[in-house]
Structure 1
Amino acid sequence: MIRAMRHIPFFLILLAAMWVVYPATAATPLSGTCVPVLEKLLPGQFHYCVAVHDWQKGDDAAGFSEAKYAARWGEKRAQFALGVDYFNGRRGIAIDKAQGLAWLTLAAERKDPYYAAILASARSQSTPQEQAQAQALVAKMLPSYGDAQVAQYAERRFQAQWWAIRDHVWDAMQGTGLDPWSKDTAVVIDGLGTVQPILALRKLQDAGDGYFQGWGHVTVGVTIPANSPLAQASRVSASTSQTDR
């Protein structure tokens, strides 16, 4: 459901805190809530978040299942986590260095320096036989987990879902007399809550760009007018953020 409204005083959900796009090097657990709307747009990111919560609760089996599903959507953090677990024998998984190397190889597909370094270290701690076994496993896993296949359909899904939300937002705004560029305009989006429409779409777009970083070009296109109050507020926020660092 999407419903347009005037929200005074306007309260904007802290979207960035909810779906902060972790760089590929982030190996620490996510915190907070797994944003429901991302299950439609970025299933890999959503289910990896669920996996981390399962692991934090001590449910290793559920976490493994969620991570495996996330990995099928090209979620590199999930592939990396599986690789480390197999290589070191963590979270109820028996040590299998060949399997670990295979997952780490997939995780490093996008040439992320951190993942590449971990992969190199793992290779240095494995035998030639284990490396050969890993190479054979990678060849079998690429159609189901490699970017050449999964990143493409993940990107198509993201774009289709993003445009569906955008169209619903535009339909909800029709005939309301509300300005979608105003900070005082809000919409209710299922799985997301009450948000400023243009900023929400932009945050979702940024989440997609971050998810496919190093592989794709997912930007779908909300342009915020430079002279709009929203753009001015964004610049002030960005400036404050830089000052705080």
Structure 2
Amino acid sequence: MKIFRTLSFVLMATASVGASAMANTAQPADPRALLRKVNAYCPGGIERILPGEYYFCAAARDFGKNHDARARERLRDAAYWASKPAQYVLGLMYFNGDDGPINRPLGVAWLALASERHDPRFEPAFAKAYLQLSPAEKAQADAYWVDMREKYGDRTAGTRAHRIYLAEMRNLQAALMFGGSVFIDGIAPPNGDSVGSFNGPGGARASSVGSGSTGFTIQRLIGKSGDDFFRGLNGTVTVGDAEMVPLGNVVTKASPKAD
């Protein structure tokens, strides 16, 4: 059972940071403090299944090694694959001027994207940040958001990420049903037991997810991580369906649970 507890921790790293580091965040905070709470072990095999979760984890790892420029690129990659924590951290970075000039309108646009599923971890910070903007800054934030939504909003990025996730999960399920094996790089049990781990080139580790209870347990763990990642994606009203509206209209609809 130790292997399954280990896998659960690895696969749900970003979910746990949402429940702890980002919980009850009611105003723009320190993005580095949030990233330091993310588990820095990022199994490479998750990239093809949940790329948004993988790149967010990789960004935290790179920040921890002071590779700031690469970490910011990883955050943008994660945002492209609908990672709301990544979009939230980018919003904090621009709003606060972390490692660069302050750009409050751009920060608010990122925070708006992070909040489009009305997640109480992110929405209060977006609302408070927006209300701090001047009228000119609000107009600029609207312009940024209209442009960025086409690439990073859930209609595009969320659909893109969910389509890949479903395809990979179907492949995994088919392999399990027909007795095949699926190799997930970077996820290996302690001492190489139970799941058929092996050493690859350059010390790389991987796991063979075969049929039987072990394979189905790992499938359930990955499925739970996917459920957490995509929670709120389907059927949400982000800012407007047929027509774009100013961000101020969204602020007035902030979650009643926001403090």
**When the two structures are superposed, what TM-score results if normalisation uses the length of structure 2?**
0.70
The offset of 1:121, in angstroms, is 1.6
Q: Contact between 1:24 and 1:76, CA under 8 Å: does it hold in 2?
A: no
Q: Deviations over 1:26-74 (max 9, x none)?
A: 4433114112221011101000100011111111100000000110011
Match of 2:103 in 1: 96
Match of 2:62 in 1: 54
Q: How high is the sequence identity, in percent, across the aligned residues?
A: 30
> Structure 1 residue 212 and structure 2 residue 230: aligned?
yes
> Structure 1 residue 147 and structure 2 residue 154: aligned?
yes
Q: Which of 73, 76, 85 is residue 84 of structure 2 equivalent to? A: 76
Match of 2:207 in 1: 193
Stretch deviating more after TM superposition (116-125 or 17-26): 17-26
> Structure 1 residue 19 and structure 2 residue 11: aligned?
yes
Looking at structure 2, the residues matched to 166 and 187 of structure 1 have their Cα atoms a distance apart, in angstroms, of 16
For the structure 1 residues 23 and 110, does the alpha-carbon distance in structure 2 shift closer, same or farther, using more than 3 Å as the test? farther
Amino acid at match of 1:198: F
Match of 2:188 in 1: none
Question: What is the aligned-residue RMSD (CA, Å)?
Answer: 2.4
Match of 1:108 in 2: 115
Looking at structure 2, the residues matched to 123 and 173 of structure 1 have their Cα atoms a distance apart, in angstroms, of 52
Match of 1:35 in 2: 43
Q: Deviations over 1:218-237 (max 9, x none)?
A: xxxxxxxxxxxxxxxxxxxx
Q: Secondary structure at the match of 1:193?
A: strand
Stretch deviating more after TM superposition (159-168 or 57-66): 159-168
Amino acid at match of 1:150: A
Q: Deviations over 1:92-143 (max 9, x none)?
A: 2210011101000100101012311101221222211111100111111111
Q: Contact between 2:40 and 2:58, CA under 8 Å: does it hold in 1?
A: no
| Higher Rg of the two aligned structures | 1
Match of 1:136 in 2: 143
For the structure 1 residues 192 and 129, does the alpha-carbon distance in structure 2 shift closer, same or farther, using more than 3 Å as the test? farther
For the structure 1 residues 206 and 159, does the alpha-carbon distance in structure 2 shift closer, same or farther, using more than 3 Å as the test? same
Higher relative contact order (CA 8 A, sep 6+): 1
For the structure 1 residues 189 and 153, does the alpha-carbon distance in structure 2 shift closer, same or farther, using more than 3 Å as the test? farther
Q: How many aligned residue pairs are there?
A: 197
Unmatched tracts of structure 1, length 5 or more? 1-9, 175-184, 218-245
Q: Secondary structure at the match of 1:18?
A: helix
Q: Secondary structure at the match of 2:122?
A: helix
Q: Contact between 1:80 and 1:103, CA under 8 Å: does it hold in 2?
A: yes
Q: Secondary structure at the match of 2:8?
A: helix
Q: Secondary structure at the match of 2:87?
A: helix
Looking at structure 2, the residues matched to 124 and 47 of structure 1 have their Cα atoms a distance apart, in angstroms, of 31
Q: Secondary structure at the match of 1:58?
A: coil
> Structure 1 residue 202 and structure 2 residue 182: aligned?
no
For the structure 1 residues 187 and 172, does the alpha-carbon distance in structure 2 shift closer, same or farther, using more than 3 Å as the test? farther
Q: Secondary structure at the match of 1:163?
A: helix
Looking at structure 2, the residues matched to 189 and 69 of structure 1 have their Cα atoms a distance apart, in angstroms, of 29
Match of 2:255 in 1: none
